[in-house]
Structure 1
């Protein structure tokens, strides 16, 4: 029997150039929901992603005849906004050496600091071989186009290992995530804390009722009553608080999510006498809940913690989800039950001097991250010793 034809690379300037069924056939639980065709399409077709905001789609696909065998979401970037992997210092260093840092090629999901697959492979294919071909294709395409580098942001640990074997340098980062230790109730979760910390959490949990607020999560058919303009208003209220804030997402993005992606959408509302006061827009995968965007139309102590942490945690326990990822940053999450979790990215810069400097920096950064893990874990406020079996 003859060997199968080698895959052919195609570059797509819109996700709509790739048939939805073919793309989604590559997905497994480790890729959902953020690599679903409809999510990427909502970003592009709502004008939240595009050349006007520095994200030029250049999706990579490998075809064997008419069959899509592998793919990766990819973008030409002429800045580093919306990536959540800081490389501004690298760009500055390169410029000082007279080396152009932009444009670069990134394999990522825009504005989404969530670990999930970045290299999609069809069922029945040799994953190791196809991942290596995608990694190599990204490099060859970037070199041919004169880009400075290739960056793969928030891949899985296994993908990072594969990329490292292909010559990429792997970077470690840290996020604070909540893990379900088999809790039977939210009280089981609270019981893990030292007494003083537990009393503080209970005080924060009582705050919404004292403020006249009621919290609830809307999903499924209940989303039909959600106004996408309200979601955009909440999102903008947070973005606009920061000097560096930028409204990448458009009102149409939220409308598209509710109409074409409702199976993965959840909205936490905080209302007083029927009036919306605050809320969070979350996404859910097969086993994990993801906090994405939050906003508040008035200031209330501890409301952020309740809408964005405690309420989703309690919901995750009730539904038996494995994990809740409340997003990047925020050391306040540590003292409220989130634990440090490693994230990864992979980088290859074509200028030998800049690449060597980045690799040296990453070695020192990795040592600092690994050294910091025990300290961050100690800050959760959990009691020492084994976890007491939860009540049912």
Structure 2
């Protein structure tokens, strides 16, 4: 068994008996579970495992936790492809539903046992992970710092930088530690995540490009950058085997009570699926959310088309009217309003994605609610 699989299997086995551990290190990715989150989680956990002097103590554990359930892996085709290519057993990975963080924190509390959490590709804990807040000691993220979510009272290290991929930041940390040898399979997995996040393009002079180059030299796989991106993008965009609810949940963020699914098709096309409307309604009920914002993109020959579907669940007409007005002011034109509580908007600017739409929607929501 190779080094990476040995680590993953040992981590999985110890997660089944976490109660007997004296020391646990949790590396937690974001709830969207995109490629860079998943690969960063595994890479940084392996790094901690390899560089911490635990002297083969079988009561110290390092858990790379993928922040979605096991079923969630089956709808992430690009992830499955890379793991199968690297001969990694998907059933020996640790998924969010396999660990009870609340019980773990309670069990470790007021004892000499150690529980530490490392966040990768996010710096805001969602509601059911909030119990880990006081155990967080390190954060890596490439999103802008949320001014509403403060870590100032906590003794921890934070690295937040504007790069294309969180794998870039984690890889940089790994290469800085001279005692650590980056595993060839991990190098390939992180390399592919950066390629996907940079859309298969070179970015000379950037940290993304520097890390991509270093990871390439460590990897034993030799597919060209553009070929890797083409394969991963086609897998990600292929949705005909998924239900509308699975399409909504496979790349989903939940921020301050608002749902932000990212789709690789336009909202007008998604609504052509049978039961698409019911799927959005079901998702809102599952998360007890009164607003879902579908961020939808589709590539055409020379450009990327963007539209946004907004589902108003349990929100009155006054809120909807104010939201539509403020969204119009942000260059989103109302395209379709044939449903009473679902509207589709087209972005009139040049380029926009979830990183910019999410804070915009949060600000609009807070302003309307506060008025």
Q: Is TM > 0.5 for Structure 1 vs Structure 2?
A: no
Q: Normalised by the size of structure 1, how large is the TM-score?
A: 0.27
Q: Which has the larger share of helix?
A: 2
TM-score, normalization: structure 2? 0.28
Larger RCO of the pair (alpha carbons < 8 Å, separation 6+): 1
